Amino acid sequence: MTRDDLEAALSSYGAGLEAELSLLRQLESLASHEQDASHAEDFEVVTRISDERARLMSGLLIVEHQIQPLRPLLAANRQQAETFLGFADVVALHRVASRLVTTILAADEETLRTLQHASSARKAALQTLENGGQTLSAYRRVIAPPVSNAALVDRHG
């Protein structure tokens, strides 16, 4: 591999990381908004944000697919690549991307816990409502028996 080829690969990789960072920053913002919406139990907003995140993730995967083949090439020629001016910048971009992913994943985990808790609370409320409805139905049968049973009371009473 020539020096020029390696420099071009490093440049392309750096440009790809910049594109990924742009998408990751948008994802980080959406993850934060999604977290707020889940705490507010605004599930319509959560759904809308999830759709937008899916679109951004698709773009992220496209960029990642394009730069992924450059990683082993740069790793195999790391000593030479380290001598290039942009190498330290690319390493810094890689670290920023890693931190953003960690932040997004942490926000997603909290959002998931919040949504699971809300789901459990709704299930418990639904069960309580169903139990109450069953009890009320049984009570209604005692208080207001069917008309055919009322005739028995009239004949004996």
* Residue 141 Cα to chain centre, angstroms: 48
Residue 145 CA: distances (Å) to CA of 124, 132, 142: 31, 19, 6
User: How many other CB atoms sit within 10 Å of the CB of residue 41?
Assistant: 14
pLDDT tens-digit series, residues 104-142: 999 999 988 888 888 887 777 777 777 767 776 766 677
Q: Quick: pLDDT tens for 65-103.
A: 999 999 999 999 999 999 999 999 999 999 999 999 999
User: How far apart, in whole angstroms, are the C-alpha atoms of residue 154 and residue 133?
Assistant: 30
The rounded distance, in Å, linking the Cα atoms of 14 and 96 is: 12
Residue 146's pLDDT is what? 67
Residue 84: closest CA among 16, 2, 22 = 2
pLDDT in tens, 12-39: 999 999 999 999 999 999 999 999 998 8
Q: Indicate the SS3 state at residue 63.
A: helix
Is 1 strand, coil or helix? coil
What is the phi-psi region of residue 41: left when phi exceeds 0, alpha when psi lies from -120 to 50, beta otherwise?
Answer: left
Contacts of 57 (CB under 8 A, 6+ apart): 27
pLDDT of residue 150: 52
Q: Is the pTM of this model over 0.85?
A: no
Tell me what pLDDT residue 33 has. 95
